[in-house]
Amino acid sequence: MSAALAGAVLCSLTLEAAGLAHRYGRRRGLDPLSFRVASPGVVALTGPNGSGKSTLLRIVAGLLRPTTGSLSVAFGGESVPAAARRLRVGFASPELAFYDELSAEENLTFAAEARGLPDPGAAAGAALERVGLAARARDLVPELSSGMQQRLRLAFAVLGAPPLLLLDEPGSHLDEEGCATVARVVDEQAEAGLVILATNDERETKLGTQRIELRRRGLGDPA
């Protein structure tokens, strides 16, 4: 698996945020935050509920336009704007949902095709293998348990071996084996790429080599 990863993940990654903040209407979503992280490695993103971990991950993924501040993400030295970034990162979060009328495999194959990956079917199969879902590939999404759907999210994130992996509470709903899978995937990614892992789980926090801690009020500092 590392070989497959190394093939795709050859560029270095840097993320630099300056005064990045987001408001939902008048509610605070993310307090002003500045940081600088680079690959390889694992960044643990911690903080109490409501401190903005999910918000930050969505901003990094390019899904959410922040109300203030700037974020620059450079793949191999070249800055990638939000619109293009969305298609190049691996993203998994609790609200990521799949098409109920399609099977796990069909969902991933669709995603691989749309992203323009060279061999969509194989890419989907490889991703399912990595997370241990190969046996349930043909099952429709509603037939999967919540733990398996979580693995499917992880499979979607690692599809095509992206250089940047954004995982929001990847261990939720997962049993021991599932958590071990997450740890394995994170370790593999950390060899050449970058993982940002938002979590409150002690075990997952320990996977991180760098840390961004969000506090409910005030600024977060890279530790």
Partner 1 sequence: MIARGLLFVWIAVWMVLGFVWAPVVPVLGDTTRVLYFHIPAAWVTVLALAWSMIQSVLYLAKRRMEHDDHAAAAAELGILFCIVATISGSLWAKAMWGSYWNWDPRETSIFFLLLIYAAYLALRSAVDGEERRARLSAIYSAAAFVAVPFLMFIVPRIYDSLHPSPILPSPREKGSMDPRIRTVFLAMLVGFTALFWWLLSLRTRFARVERRRLDAAAAGA
Partner 2 sequence: MARSASSSAAAVWAILRKECRSEWRTRYGLNAALLFAITSLAGVSFAVGPLGDRTDILSGMLWVVLLFAALASLSHAFVREIEGHTLTLLRLVATPTAIGLGKLLFNLIFLAVIEAVTVPLFLLLMGGPPPKWGRFALVLILGSVALAAACTLVSAIIAQTRGRGALFAGASLPLLLPVLAAAVKGTRAQWQGGTVGAEASILIAYAAAVFGVSLLLYDHLWED
Q: Tell me how far apart the alpha carbons of residues 143 and 128 are, in angstroms, rounded to a whole number.
A: 16
Nearer to partner 2, 111 or 186 (CB): 111
Q: Are 149 and 173 a contacting pair, CB within 8 Å?
A: yes
**Residue 55: alpha-carbon gap to chain centroid:** 12
Structure-derived torsion over alpha carbons of residues 145, 151, 154, 155, reported in degrees to the nearest 10: -110
> Which does residue 27 bind out of partner 1, partner 2, none, counting CB within 5 to 8 angstroms by kind?
partner 1
Q: Which does 26 bind (CB under 5 to 8 A by kind): partner 2, partner 1, none?
A: partner 1
- What count of other Cβ atoms lies within 10 Å of the Cβ of residue 118? 8
100 touches partner 2 by CB under 8 A: yes
What letter represents residue 80's amino acid?
V
Task: Considering only the stretches 56-64, 172-180, 181-189, 213-221, report the one whose residues sit in contact with partner 2 under the rule CB under 8 A.
Answer: 56-64
Instruction: Assess contact for 54 and 92: CB atoms under 8 A.
Output: no
Q: Give yes or no for residue 113 binding partner 2 (CB under 8 A).
A: yes
* Residue 118, binding choice from partner 1, partner 2, none, Cβ under 5 to 8 Å by partner class: none
Residue 203 CA to residue 186 CA, distance in Å, equals 12
Q: For residue 119, state whether it binds partner 2 (rule: CB under 8 A).
A: no
| Residues at the contact surface with partner 2, assessed by CB under 8 A | 61, 63-65, 83-84, 86-87, 89, 91, 93, 95-102, 106-107, 110-111, 113-116, 156
| Residues at the contact surface with partner 1, assessed by CB under 8 A | 23-28, 67
